[in-house]
Amino acid sequence: MDFTHSAVARDYIDRVRAFIDNEITPREADYFATLHGLSDRWVVSPVVEELKAAAREQGLWNLFLPDDRYGAGLSVVDYAPLAELMGRSLLAPEVFNCNAPDTGNAEVLVHYGSDAQRAEWLTPLLEGRIRSAFCMTEPDAASSDATNMSATAIVDGDSVVLNGRKWWSTGIGHPNCRFVIFMGLTDPDAHRHARHSMVLVPLDTEGVRVERMLPVMGYYDEPYGHGEVSFTDVRLPLDAIIAGPGRGFEIAQGRLGPGRIHHCMRLIGMAERALELACERASSRHGFGKPLINLGGNRERIAHARIAINQARLQVLHTAWLLDTGGAAAAISELSQVKASVPSMAYSVIDMAIQLHGAAGLSDDTPLAGFLSAARALRLADGPDEVHLGVVARVELAKYRDRA
């Protein structure tokens, strides 16, 4: 693969970087200070709305969609460095209308939604007027194995009826969250990959209830959040099912490929910013008569962090290239490789940066504690490490199946 960014990518990289540096970063501290000072943090911020309007006006909008009818028309390789830049800021993904899980939900609607579904939900989502959530994980099941799911989406005449409980539904706390995509069991006797359906559920539908918001290592991630949601006899028209009954597993697999690249590149952005903060702190702070950088092996820690970040970036870009050239089927192992390796790398780099900041690294004075929480959570989100390592091992060992 060619490691040179395309002319289109270079243009977007320059513009996204300039927007983050000039518009977002200078307002981050005040934004979070104001938010954390509110008694109710589940609010739409005027600052974010202003930044969104400015980004859209500059054409920095829906950059994640490779279909130019809906977004910027960038390849996965071209979008990857933009996701990395956005990862440097906890605000940037929404400002560019590129935040999860809206990106994954938009991709589902683009590839699998009907014209009516796209008109009702995709259009306002891509305009940034509404937000969404994805309801898959369940509290009483190992949900990385979809066959364990107990929540149901049962076809009843011209309706589909939903029952069950989901949790870690990211984005459910946002005041503008208007719909969720619910994955439930439709036919337990079908092939294991044809048992489930995905259903579009307006959040104000009778029987849908957000039971509580869940903290991630003490962070509620307002105003997006992660919620536990109950569905009790939720009845919807049959055309609320995406692509028809039984296609939930297929849709889930299609949804997760690009999303894993996005997650990993944002994590690399977090690690890059953490390394920058670590270098600045270690060079300016003194202890025992020396700069911190000259104490306790800190130079080696910085060097190892640089090497680890560069290795991760190259691995993710290679995986993005495989997606662009051969689709998800050509990158099964590689997608699992980066999903298992990058969050751990980012966690290690961020943890090192926290250590160099001392107690300040544990506070909200820097973004490091929030970054650490996100990196740790992503060792579970979109499949735990163990599942992805199992995929990598299965693909690798298959090469030796006939050698006896």
**Rg of the chain over all Cα atoms, to the nearest angstrom:** 22
d(CA 201, CA 185): 15
Instruction: Tell me the whole-structure pTM to 2 decimals.
Output: 0.94
Supply 55's token pair: 């980004």
User: pLDDT tens across 129-138, in order?
Assistant: 999 999 999 9
| Average pLDDT, rounded, for the chain | 95
Helix, strand, or coil (residue 20): helix
Residue 404 above 60 pLDDT? no
Helix, strand, or coil (residue 219): strand
Mean pLDDT of 192-204: 96
d(CA 114, CA 108): 10
The CA-atom distances, in angstroms, between 312 and each of 10, 140, 355, 364 are 20, 34, 22, 27
- What is the DSSP annotation of 150-217? --EEEEETTEEEEEEEEEEEETTTSTTEEEEEEEEES-TTS-TTSSEEEEEEETTSTTEEEEEE--BT
pLDDT over 90 percentage in the chain:
92
Q: What domains can be seen in the chain, in order of their start residue?
A: 7-113 (1.10.540.10), 131-242 (2.40.110.10), 249-399 (1.20.140.10)
d(CA 262, CA 269): 11
Confidence of residue 252 (pLDDT cuts 50, 70, 90): confident
d(CA 312, CA 346): 9
